[in-house]
Amino acid sequence: MNVDLPLTPDYDAWPIEADLETVSFTPRLVTVRWSDGRESRYHGIWLRENAADATTVNPATRERILDLSTLPGWPEIGDAEIDDSGALCVDFVPEDRRLRFHPGWLRAHDYDNAEDPEAPPVPVAAWQGGSGQGPDSLDASGLLDTEPASEAEEAILAPALESVLGKGLVRLRGLPTEPDSLEAIARRIGPVRPTNFGQLFDVKAKPDPDSNAYTSIALPPHVDLPTREYQPGLQMLHCLENSVEGGEAVMLDGFAVAEALRTRNPEAFATLPRVRWCYANTAKATDYVWYAPMIRLDERGELLEVRIADFLRGPLQADFEEVEPAFDALMTLQRMLREPEFAIRFTYRPGDLVIFDNRRLLHARDAFEGSSGHRWLQGCYMERDEIRSRYRMVQRARRQR
Amino acid sequence: MNVDLPLTPDYDAWPIEADLETVSFTPRLVTVRWSDGRESRYHGIWLRENAADATTVNPATRERILDLSTLPGWPEIGDAEIDDSGALCVDFVPEDRRLRFHPGWLRAHDYDNAEDPEAPPVPVAAWQGGSGQGPDSLDASGLLDTEPASEAEEAILAPALESVLGKGLVRLRGLPTEPDSLEAIARRIGPVRPTNFGQLFDVKAKPDPDSNAYTSIALPPHVDLPTREYQPGLQMLHCLENSVEGGEAVMLDGFAVAEALRTRNPEAFATLPRVRWCYANTAKATDYVWYAPMIRLDERGELLEVRIADFLRGPLQADFEEVEPAFDALMTLQRMLREPEFAIRFTYRPGDLVIFDNRRLLHARDAFEGSSGHRWLQGCYMERDEIRSRYRMVQRARRQR
C-alpha cells in the first residue's frame, strides 16, 4: 500500500503499522477498525481541521490556513470510506468537500486510545547521587568535524539529548578548549538565549564581580536566573581551564530532593508551591525581580519546576501568617540540599561540557583557591524547546531512512 | 536623618518617607510605629535573612551568602531599638549578632501592610479598538543619538515602557530605516531572544517560505511562537519599507477578547483554560511541539497569558469527551476575533517600530499585493523581564537624582 505524503499536514513520515480495515460513521463521528483489531473514533470536526489539502494547509509552509468558524456550518460527515490506496476518505457537508487522511498519520494521532499524548519522548527519571556517582559521560571529540544535521552528528548528539531529557544532565568530553568555541558547539543543538551577562558568560573570579558566580566563594545548590519570568530551560558549562585547588562541581536532581521532601515532610512540601518568593537581582545596571514559588506542580501534583537560589532571593513579601511557615519549609529544604546522598560531585576537565536542565537540576560548587591556578568555565543558556526539537528531528530522520 | 546605603541589601536608594518612632519586640517579632502613625510588624527570621551586613550579603555583589539553616538555631530577638541615625537595631540570639536596618528600606518592604507586593509597576489596562483607534505613538527619532542609560534616552524610553507595561503596545516613530538597525534599537532595552528564525527575522514575501508570515497572505490574529514552552514575552516589528497595496496591520488586546468571552459565553471561557491544545511547527529542519491551554489563568482567575495562533496548532490530543466542547469554544473565540470593535488597524510607515506583549496581544495583517511594491518588516523577540528591569532602572535613577 502506498499513500502520497501530501496526505499528511506536516513534513514528517508516518509509517503504516496497521491498515484500515473497516469504517462506519454518524454525522459527527467516524469509527475505524484497524488490521490489528484496534478501534479508533475520530470526531468529524477534528478530521476537518486536520485535513492536509490546500483549503486547510498552505502547501508552501505546511501551516494551517483554515479558520473553522468560517465554514458554512459545523462540519458533518456525509460519507466515509477506505479508498484503494488505504487512506480514509470523508465527505463533509454542508461544505460538500471530500478529504483524505493518511492511515499512518491517523494512527499516530489516535486520541481515542492515547495513553498520554503529552508524555515526554524520554521518560523523566529522578536520580539520587552519593559517592562515586557521576554524570553520563560521552566522547564528543569529533562533534565539530561532523556535518550539521548529518548521521555522524546525530550519532554523537542523540544519546546526549536522551540523557538531558531523561536525567536532566549530560557531560560531553573531548571538546575544544578554545575560548568561545561553546558558541559553535551550542549551535549544533539550537540558538543560545543571551542575557544581561552576554551571549556566553565567563565563570571565573573577576574584579568587581556582578554575581557570586564570578568570585571564588562556594555557591550553594541553585538554578540560574530565577529572577526571570521563565528561568532558562537549559544551561551549558564548558571548561576551558581548571588547575585550581577546590572548585569541585556539585549537581543535584531538584526533582529527587522535592520528592524526598514530599515523603519526609508533607507540611513543608505543601508550603513551598504555595508561597511566592521574591527573586531579585538588583545589579548596578539592571534590576530583575520576579515572584514565584520554589516548587511548581501541575494540576495532578507532578513536579513542573524548581526555583531554588538563596543568593538570588529578595525579601519575601508574603501574607504575614505565611512568613514563619515559609521560612520553616525553606530551612528544611536547605538542610536536605546539604545531604551528600543527593549530590554527584566531579571535577571539570578542560574540554568538558556539561549540559543540564536549569529548571530541574541544581548546581553548586566548592570554594576554590584563586591563587592556586586558573579555573575558567564559559557558559550559555538555551531553551528546552531546542533539545526537544532536535530530538524530534533525530526521530524523524530515523523514520525517513 | 542620614543613614548610609550599605544598610540596605541592594543597590537601590530608599527615600525615607516616615521616621521610626517606637519599637517593641517579642522573641519572634519586632513591631515598629512610624512618624505617620502606621504600625508594622516584622518577623525576626525575616529580618535576619534580609540583613545587609557582610555575614548576610557579599559586599562585592550584593548577593546573599547566608544560609539560614546553618545558624545555631531559629533566629530570635534579644533586643531591638532605634539608633541615633534612625535605623532599626536588632540583637539576634543564639547567634549573638546586632544588625541594623534602613528605615526607608524597611518601609518599602512592609509586608504586614502591603496591598499586593506583586502588583505590576504600571497597572494592566485591557483596551478595545474600533475605528479610528491606533497605538500610542511616540517620536523616537533621537533615540540612537542618546547616550545609553542617559536621561535623554530615559526621556524617550520611559513613556514607551509604560505603554508596553500597561497596554501591551507602543509605536515608536521616526527611527532609522537601515536594515538591521533594529538590533541597536532593541539593545537600548535589553538582549534579543534569538530563535530558529534568527536574531532578527525578515517579514516579507519570500521564495520557499517556512512560515505563513513570509508569504503575502492574510494572517489571522495570533501570537508568535506558541510552539515554545514559553512564547517570547515581547515582539518588536520594525518597518523598513512599505509601498504595497494592502498589508494593513491589525492588533487586538487578547485580554480584552478573553474578558468579553468570559462575560458572553462562560462555558466557552471555562473550556479554554482547561483544554491543552497542541501547538506545532514541523518545518524542514526543526520540529517544535508544545501542549498548553489557549487561555491561562492564575489561582485567582485573572488572565496570565493567551496562546492563540490557528496556523501553528497541531492536531488536538484531548480526552475524547473534550473534543467537541473544545472546538465549540474555539469557534466562538474565532468569531470574536473577527469583530472590528476589538481591533486597531494601522499602516506601517518606514521608521515605525511597534513593540508589543506577545503573551497578551494578538497581531494580524491583511493580505497584500506583492507586485504592487515592497513590504519589509524586521522583527525580533525579547523577554518581558527586560522591559520591567529597564523600567525599574528608570525609577531607581529618578529616586537617586
Residue pLDDT, tens place only, B296-327: 999 889 999 999 999 999 999 999 999 999 99
How high is the pLDDT of residue A6? 60
Euclidean distance between CA atoms A109 and A100, whole angstroms = 15
What per-residue confidence (pLDDT) applies to B401? 82
Residue of A nearest to B118 (CA): A291
Residue intervals of chain B classified under CATH 3.30.2020.30 are 5-116
| Residue A5, pLDDT score | 40
B5-116 CATH fold: NE0471 N-terminal domain-like (3.30.2020)
DSSP-derived 3-state class of residue B331: helix
Residues of each domain in chain A carrying CATH 3.30.2020.30: 5-119
- Average pLDDT value for residue range B217-235: 95
**Average pLDDT value for residue range B5-25:** 87
Higher per-residue confidence, B131 vs B333? B333
Which regions of B174-302 does DSSP assign to beta strands (E)? 201-203, 219-222, 234-242, 245-246, 249-253, 277-282, 287-292, 295-297
CA B180/CA B183 separation, integer angstroms: 6
The confidence band for B5, taking pLDDT boundaries of 50, 70 and 90, is very low
The residue type found at B174 is G
ipTM over 0.90: yes
Tell me the sheet residues that pair with B169.
B356
* A258: phi then psi, degrees, rounded to nearest 5: -65, -40
Best mutation target, A57, A58, A69, A118, to test chain B (most B CBs within 10 A)? A69
Indicate the pairing of strand B137-139 with strand B169-173. parallel
Tell which residue, B386, B336, B318, B329, has the closest CA to residue B358: B386
Sequence-distant (≥ 6) Cβ neighbours of residue A78 within 8 angstroms: A91, A92, A93
Q: What percent of chain B has pLDDT over 90?
A: 82
CB B355 within 8 A of CB B169: yes
Q: A314 vs A64, A369, B43, B122, B125, CA distance in Å?
A: 45, 29, 15, 21, 28
Q: B62–A282: do the CB atoms touch at under 8 Å? A: yes
- Chain A: residue whose CA lies nearest to B285: A393
Q: Give A155 to chain B, closest Cα distance, Å.
A: 17
Element housing B366 (H / E): none
- CA B174, CA B181: separation in Å to the nearest integer? 13
**Residue ranges, CATH 3.60.130.10, chain B:** 137-396
pLDDT at B176: 98
Residues with pLDDT less than 70, chain A: 1-6
Measure in Å the smallest separation between the Cα of A176 and chain B Cα atoms.
25
Q: What is the pLDDT of residue A255?
A: 98
At the topology level, CATH places domain A5-119 in NE0471 N-terminal domain-like (3.30.2020)
Chain A hits for B388, CB-CB cut-off 8 Å, are 288-289
- Per the document, the length of chain B is 401
The partner residue sitting opposite A64, judged by closest CB among B111, B310, B330, is B310
What's the mean pLDDT in B5-23?
86
Question: Hey, are the CB atoms on A282 and B11 less than 8 Å from each other?
Answer: yes
What is the share, in percent, of chain B residues with pLDDT greater than 70?
Answer: 99
Residue of higher predicted confidence among A81 and B62: A81
3-state secondary structure of A318: coil
Please tell me the distance in Å from B224's CA to the nearest CA on chain A. 13
- Contact between residue B307 and residue B97 where contact means Cβ atoms under 8 Å apart: no
* Greatest extent of chain A over all pairs of C-alpha atoms, in Å: 81
State how far the Cα of A313 lies from the Cα of A330, in Å rounded to an integer: 12
The answer, yes or no, to whether residue B209 has pLDDT greater than 90, is no
Of all helices (H) and strands (E), which one includes residue A258? helix A254-264
Closest-CA distance, B164 to chain A, in angstroms, reads: 16
Question: Which comes out higher in pLDDT, residue B258 or B399?
Answer: B258
| CATH class of the domain defined by B137-396 | alpha beta
